[in-house]
């Protein structure tokens, strides 16, 4: 780009200089020749003063000294040389001067000016002043050389200015190219900087907006992958363990094992739907899901997790008032939040885990508590990557709660207690 800008500037400057220099060169030539003719005419006029009226009677006339390189000559009415330096017979310029007018001519390398000499109202002769045109051409060539030097100087200045402007134009584009390469190498934090050129700044802003959007899409995709992996691992493990336990016990009731497997598979299907809904919705409110009585969700969570805690010698208890258990909540969304909180209590909590459902009038409070302690700050515990695990579950649970117009908070750290608040709406 730099070379192209310089070339364009040079072409434009060259065209402008040619359009300016050619008329100037013609004007220089005309001015120098006109100046020389004027000088010859002034010298001829000065010589006319020296010619008296007795010249026509044959008296000799002494002409003034000519300028260096000039020749002065006096001709009679027959165009014959009578005094000075010149051809024996006058040429066309002398004949026109004898006719009563100042005449100019250029031939045989000579500039000639002829001025009539009058006595009374009668022309009695003519003064011829001449000089070699080579002298004038020398001055013209020197003028043209000076004009060429000025043009070259202007062209050189144009090159310097063009190179600086090319650098100023290319620098932000080169920086934008480096930013694009950095993004291509995986640095999604790279952004194009500000320049002094409005059009390039507009491109940079569009580029930054595009990168920001792509970064959000990639982050959303990574979150979807992490959410799917985190949420599907537990139900798949439970389904696998239940089937393996049924196969290992020859006296086990296959219908009970199949019923449990069917329930777990339905929960797995709901989990997949919820993760996909979250991925399609992105950031913001999730599409509405069917409501279910809160008590049914707690009973289902108890069935899924009772055996998990019992296998480690721990208890899982549920407490709710009958009226609170009949209140409607977003079924699948709350189901996923409960799984996250119970999984967190299973891996990081201690002792008995208690699920408590409370009716607050305008909202429903669901507490998940255990007998352990939470060493992390309540303000950072919901950030992804926090803690000694994957740091995904609690962040996902808070996102699900927010999408359902609820709020999930760490209500207590010793003992650990998480509280989910869900607003109550009239069913339509």
Instruction: Compute the residue count for the chain.
Output: 428
112-160 pLDDT, tens per residue? 999 998 887 788 889 999 998 888 899 899 999 999 999 999 989 988 8
**Which backbone phi and psi does 18 adopt, to 5 degrees?**
-65, -45
Nearest to 416 by CA among 390, 363, 378: 378
Bridge partners (DSSP) of residue 129 are 72, 113
The CA distance from 179 to 188, in Å, is 10
Q: Half-sphere exposure of residue 229, counting CA atoms within 13 Å on the CB side?
A: 9
Locate the domains of the chain by residue range. Answer: 2-152, 227-423
Q: Two tokens at 231?
A: 């949420």
pLDDT value of position 389: 46
The CA distance from 170 to 159, in Å, is 16
Q: Which CATH class is domain 227-423?
A: alpha beta
Q: Half-sphere exposure of residue 399, counting CA atoms within 13 Å on the CB side?
A: 21
Annotation: CATH topology of 2-152: Beta-Lactamase (3.30.450)
**What residues have CB less than 8 Å from 424, skipping those under 6 apart?**
327, 361, 362, 363, 364
The CA distance from 255 to 265, in Å, is 15
Dihedral sign (CA 87, 89, 93, 98): positive
The CA distance from 247 to 235, in Å, is 18
**What residues have CB less than 8 Å from 59, skipping those under 6 apart?**
52
The CA distance from 93 to 176, in Å, is 75
Tens of each residue's pLDDT in the chain, 428 residues: 678 877 888 888 888 889 998 999 999 999 998 999 999 999 988 888 888 777 766 677 778 888 888 999 998 888 888 888 888 888 888 899 998 899 999 887 889 999 998 887 788 889 999 998 888 899 899 999 999 999 999 989 988 888 888 888 888 888 888 888 888 888 878 888 887 788 888 888 888 888 888 877 776 666 556 655 655 666 666 666 666 666 777 776 677 667 666 766 766 666 666 666 666 655 444 555 678 898 888 998 888 888 888 888 999 999 988 888 888 888 778 888 888 898 888 888 899 999 999 998 888 999 999 998 877 766 677 776 554 444 567 887 888 888 788 899 988 888 899 999 999 865 54
Tell me, letter by letter, the H, E, C secondary structure of the chain: CHHHHHHHHHHHHHHHHHHHHHHHHHHHHHHHHHHHHHHHHHHHHHHHHHCCHHHHHCCCCCCCCCCCCEEEEEECCCCEEEEECCCCECCHHHHHHHCCCCEEEEECCEEEEEEEEEECCEEEEEEEEEEEHHHHHHHHHHHHHHHHHHHHHHHHHHHHHHHHHHHHHHHHHHHHHHHHHHHHCCCCCCCCCCCCCHHHHHHHHHHHHHHHHHHHHHHHHHHHHHHHHHHHHHHHHHHHHHHHHHHHCCCCCHHHHHHHHHHHHHHHHHHHHHHHHHHHHCCCCCCCCCEEEHHHHHHHHHHHHHHHHHCCCCCEEEEECHHHHCCEEEHHHHHHHHHHHHHHHHHHCCCCEEEEEEECCCEEEEEEECCCCCCCCCCCCCCCCCCCCCCCHHHHHHHHHHHCCCEEEEEEECCEEEEEEEECCCCC
């Amino acid at each position: 780009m730099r070379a192209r800008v310089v070339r364009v500037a040079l072409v434009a400057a060259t065209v402008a200089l040619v359009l300016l220099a050619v008329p100037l060169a013609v004007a220089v030539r005309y001015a120098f020749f006109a100046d020389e003719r004027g000088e010859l005419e002034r010298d001829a006029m000065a010589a006319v003063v020296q010619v008296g009226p007795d010249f026509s009677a044959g008296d000799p006339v002494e002409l003034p000294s000519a300028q260096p390189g000039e020749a002065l000559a006096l001709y009679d009415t027959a165009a014959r040389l009578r005094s000075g330096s010149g051809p024996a017979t006058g040429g066309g310029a002398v004949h026109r001067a004898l006719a009563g007018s100042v005449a100019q001519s250029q031939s045989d390398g000579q500039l000639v000016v002829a001025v009539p000499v009058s006595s009374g109202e009668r022309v009695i002769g003519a003064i011829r002043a001449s000089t070699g045109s080579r002298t004038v051409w020398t001055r013209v060539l020197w003028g043209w050389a000076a004009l060429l030097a000025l043009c070259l100087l202007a062209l050189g200045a144009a090159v310097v200015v063009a190179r600086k402007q090319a650098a100023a134009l290319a620098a932000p584009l080169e920086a934008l190219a480096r930013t694009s390469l950095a993004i291509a190498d995986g640095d999604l934090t790279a952004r194009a900087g500000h320049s002094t050129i409005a059009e390039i700044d507009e491109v940079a802003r569009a580029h930054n907006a595009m990168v920001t959007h792509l970064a959000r899409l990639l982050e959303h995709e990574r979150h979807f992958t992490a959410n799917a992996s985190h949420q599907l691992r537990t139900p798949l493990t439970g389904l696998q363990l239940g089937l393996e336990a049924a196969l290992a016990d020859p006296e086990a009731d296959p219908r009970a094992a199949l019923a449990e497997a069917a329930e777990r598979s339905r929960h797995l299907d709901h989990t997949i739907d919820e993760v996909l809904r979250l991925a399609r919705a992105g950031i913001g409110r999730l599409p509405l899901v069917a409501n279910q009585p809160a008590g049914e969700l707690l009973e289902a969570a108890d069935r899924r997790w009772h055996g998990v805690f019992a296998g480690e010698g721990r208890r899982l208890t549920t407490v709710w008032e009958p009226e609170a258990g009949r209140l409607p909540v977003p079924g699948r969304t709350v189901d996923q939040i409960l799984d996250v909180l119970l999984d967190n209590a299973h891996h990081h909590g201690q002792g008995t885990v208690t699920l408590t459902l409370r009716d607050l009038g305008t909202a429903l409070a669901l507490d998940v508590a255990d007998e352990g302690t939470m060493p992390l700050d309540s303000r950072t515990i919901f950030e992804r990557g926090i803690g000694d695990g994957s740091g995904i579950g609690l962040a996902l649970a808070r996102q699900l709660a927010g999408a359902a117009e609820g709020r999930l908070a760490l209500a207590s750290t010793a003992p650990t207690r998480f509280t989910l608040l869900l607003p109550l709406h009239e069913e339509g």
